[in-house]
Amino acid sequence: MNITVTSTRESIQISLVQLDNYGPWTVTPSPRRETDLQALQARLYAALAEFVSTHDGYAFFDRFDNMIAVTDGMTVADHKRFQEQVRNQYPVTVSIGIGVGETPTNALGAASQALQAEGSAQDAERTERLATAGSVGDTPGLLTIAHFDVVDVTSEFTDRKDAGETSLTIQRATVSLASYLREEYDGVTRFVGGDNIIALCPSLDLEAFEAAREHVQATTGIDLQVGIGEGETPHEAGYRAKLALEECRETGQRIDRVGLRATIDR
Ligand SMILES: Nc1nc2c(ncn2[C@@H]2O[C@H](COP(=O)(O)OP(=O)(O)OP(=O)(O)O)[C@@H](O)[C@H]2O)c(=O)[nH]1
């Protein structure tokens, strides 16, 4: 195990990006071909990921019609630019709730409530709303990101087991971890592809991450390893988490943390 780095963050900013009136659109004038909808959703997610990346943010596809981004430092004007980009390039528009909270769960809850106050996701009159809760664009301090993955997924699952069974196994691990971190620590946790699960967390000690790992092992039998990173932006924190995860892979330890001593040059 690596050294404990103590850091605090007073707040985190999370944006909830919601496609406007998407449900009715998918069946108007008649149900649209499913693969066309899948391609559109994938492109919109790619657009969001690339947009927040230019501001060193993080993005999660969530349910695709509702996407989440960690947008610390991004202003209302930045979000409006993304709305304009979607309007100009796609056959749909998006509304956005921006929430600032003391914990990831609080921030996402605040973003949700701000957006819900603007009207229903299936209200044809609610178009391109941008609602805020808290001091947007002003979240100084350090952010914590934990990047989990399944130990040896390739040799234990991908190369040996039925792909359907493997997928369900990863989903079970995700639900177990996400529920635990939300209930215990107000974390927001999402599957990001492969065997990777990323958690936005308050500043926690290493014992908390070990407890989360043990919970997943006890409830699903899945052995997770986790890299934890801190930084002033989601990218910085997430990149350090990746460096820490690499350390786990090299050493065989299950938890590693990379603090600010690791400089980020990419
Ligand atoms: N989104 C995302 N996917 C990744 C990342 N790293 C690996 N993957 C995906 O996860 C899959 C498994 O890769 P690994 O986790 O390296 O494989 P492993 O067999 O579990 O090996 P160890 O992690 O060393 O235990 C790959 O096929 C990739 O699709 C990452 O940083 N982000």
3-state secondary structure 84-115: HHHHHHCCCCEEEEEEEECCHHHHHHHHHHHH
Measured in angstroms, how far is the CA atom of residue 157 from the centroid of ligand 1?
Answer: 12
Residue 71 within a domain: yes
- The pair of three-digit structure tokens given for residue 43, joined into one six-digit string: 């492109």
Range of the domain at 43: 12-133
Residue of the CA atom closest to atom 10 of ligand 1: 194
Beta bridge partners of 230: 144
Q: Is residue 49 part of a domain?
A: yes
The number of distinct structural domains making up the chain is 2
79 shares a domain with 19? yes
Boundary (domain end) residue, out of 68, 99, 133: 133
Q: 78, 111, 133 — which closes off a domain?
A: 133
Secondary structure class of 245 (helix, strand, coil): helix
**Does residue 23's CB lie within 6 angstroms of at least one atom of ligand 1?**
no
CA 196 – ligand 1 centroid, Å = 6
Q: Whose CA is nearest to atom 11 of ligand 1?
A: 194
ipTM of the complex: 0.92
Tokens of 95: 């509304």
Same domain? 76 vs 150: no
Q: Which of the 8 DSSP states describes residue 254?
A: S
Dump the DSSP string for 156-209. Answer: IIITTS-HHHHHHHHHHHHHHHHHHHHHHH--EEEEEETTEEEEEE-S--HHHH
CATH of the domain at 179: 3.30.70.270
* 91 Cβ contact partners less than 8 Å away, ≥ 6 residues apart: 25, 40
Nearest CA to ligand 1 atom 8: 194
**Residues 150 and 212 grouped into a single domain:** yes
**CATH number (domain holding residue 39):** 3.30.70.1230
Residue 231, domain member (yes or no): yes
Task: Point out the ligand 1 atom lying closest to the alpha carbon of residue 155.
Answer: 19
Report CA(149)–ligand 1 centroid distance (Å): 7
CB 23 within 8 A of CB 122: yes
User: What are the pLDDT tens digits along the chain (266 aa)?
Assistant: 333 344 456 799 999 999 999 999 999 999 999 999 999 999 999 999 999 999 999 999 999 999 999 999 999 999 999 999 999 999 999 999 999 999 999 999 999 999 999 999 999 999 999 999 998 988 888 999 999 999 999 998 899 999 999 999 999 999 999 999 999 999 999 999 999 999 999 999 999 999 999 999 999 999 999 999 999 999 999 999 999 999 999 999 999 998 776 666 65
Tell me: do 187 and 101 sit in the same domain.
no
Cβ atoms of 246 and 214 closer than 8 Å:
no
pTM (predicted TM-score): 0.93
Dist. CA 85 → ligand 1 center (Å): 32
